[in-house]
Amino acid sequence: MTDFRPTRRKALKLTAASLAAPALLSPATSAIAAGRADLDTAINRFVALAPKTTSCVVAVTPPQGPGWRAGYAPEQRLFVGSAVKTYILGQFLLDVESGRNQLSGTQLCTVSDAVRTPGSPVLIGLNGQTLFRTALESMISHSDNISTDITLAAVGPARVRELVGRMGLNTVRIPDSTRVLFSYLAGAPSGVDLGWDGMQKLEHNEKVYYDNHLLSPRTDVINDKQSMTSSANDLVNWYQQVLAGKVFTKPTSLIEFKRISAMADAVWMTVPQGLLAYGKGGSLDWGTFHALCFAGQMLVGKTPVTFSFTSNWLDGKTSGERTEAFISAVSDVLKAAANAV
């Protein structure tokens, strides 16, 4: 769950909408009402990480019989970081299906300073060409931001937004690129790319100018211009639909989506051992604003258990310093959910 972590930024604040005090799902739909008190206990432990700016939901949909959900503020829109890369993967595979621009996993893409951006553990120091398949795998398995920007440029951010719009995922926001996102948070106008030179200056705490004006960092990390946001409900709805075969027209596309989505590092960190699972995590540290997220689906026998966990907070520990506690809390919820199926 790798993202850009500059060290010099002013204190950031969440939008007022993000600070509304949420609550557990109503008793009629909560885990405790279904006799699953252990799951509610685990959810409460996760919520304790940041009660006002934490959201989660676990949705159980057995092949037969009624399904049920348990969660906390699942409609709350929060910053989910690289968790939105699942939508980019989905749009790329849709374009392969349709033959748009003759895209394929074996087509070559170019790695250069034109797309170089921080938070790229796989491609950061490389120049040349690689397969789009490698970029897709790096985007999901290592959250490589260069791979993300290469893929997003190939499909077009507007078309990814159209995809989530068609599916009714109204809280989802996708940036023009990760580099444009960082540029916007650094103070540039929406849509402006400060380039690799600008990213290096940000990383080294140097002054950054645009149009002869010194940039001041923004405080609106959660915004409608350049951001990575979603509610827990929207992430769960996406994984339920895409993994049920309701997004792609060709079986091979779903197989490829599953293959790549199973590579995410957060999967093996959180999902009970032995269970097949797919998903994507995300994180961000920008000044005093921090975020962690993991969403996906695991199979307990033949029963899909789809989930989303997000925590945003100000000050205190960074996402890296809090990852162990986040993973532990999420793991407890997923274990309790698996036992309740």
Res. 25 pLDDT band, cuts 50 70 90: low
Q: Is the pLDDT of residue 11 over 60?
A: no
pLDDT the model gives residue 3: 52
The distance from CA 78 to its chain's CA centroid, rounded to whole angstroms, is 10
Q: Is the pLDDT of residue 26 over 80?
A: no
Length of the chain, please?
341
Contact criterion met (CB below 8 Å) for 163 and 209: no
User: Each residue of 55-90: pLDDT tens digit?
Assistant: 999 999 999 989 999 999 999 999 999 999 999 999
User: Each residue of 284-297: pLDDT tens digit?
Assistant: 999 999 999 999 99
Q: Is the pLDDT of residue 22 over 70?
A: no
Average pLDDT over the chain, rounded to an integer: 91
Res. 237 pLDDT band, cuts 50 70 90: very high
| Percent of residues, the chain, with pLDDT higher than 70 | 90
CA 191-205-320 angle, 5° bins = 85
- Rounded distance, CA 205 to CA 77, Å? 30
- Rounded distance, CA 320 to CA 8, Å? 17
Q: In terms of pLDDT, which residue wins out, 271 or 24? A: 271
pLDDT the model gives residue 238: 99
What is the per-residue DSSP string for 269-291? HHSPTT--EEEEEEEEEETTEEE
Mean pLDDT, rounded, for 194-213: 96
User: Each residue of 250-263: pLDDT tens digit?
Assistant: 999 999 999 999 99
Res. 5 pLDDT band, cuts 50 70 90: low
Q: Is the pLDDT of residue 216 over 70?
A: yes
Mean pLDDT, rounded, for 98-111: 96
The distance from CA 127 to its chain's CA centroid, rounded to whole angstroms, is 27
pLDDT the model gives residue 36: 85
Mean pLDDT, rounded, for 99-114: 96
pLDDT the model gives residue 219: 86
Mean pLDDT, rounded, for 28-40: 64
pLDDT the model gives residue 223: 98
Mean pLDDT, rounded, for 142-153: 98
- Rounded distance, CA 132 to CA 257, Å? 14
Domains in the chain, ordered, with CATH? 16-82+224-340 (no CATH), 84-214 (3.40.710.10)
Q: Is the pLDDT of residue 1 over 70?
A: no
- Rounded distance, CA 174 to CA 81, Å? 10
Which pTM does this prediction carry?
A: 0.91
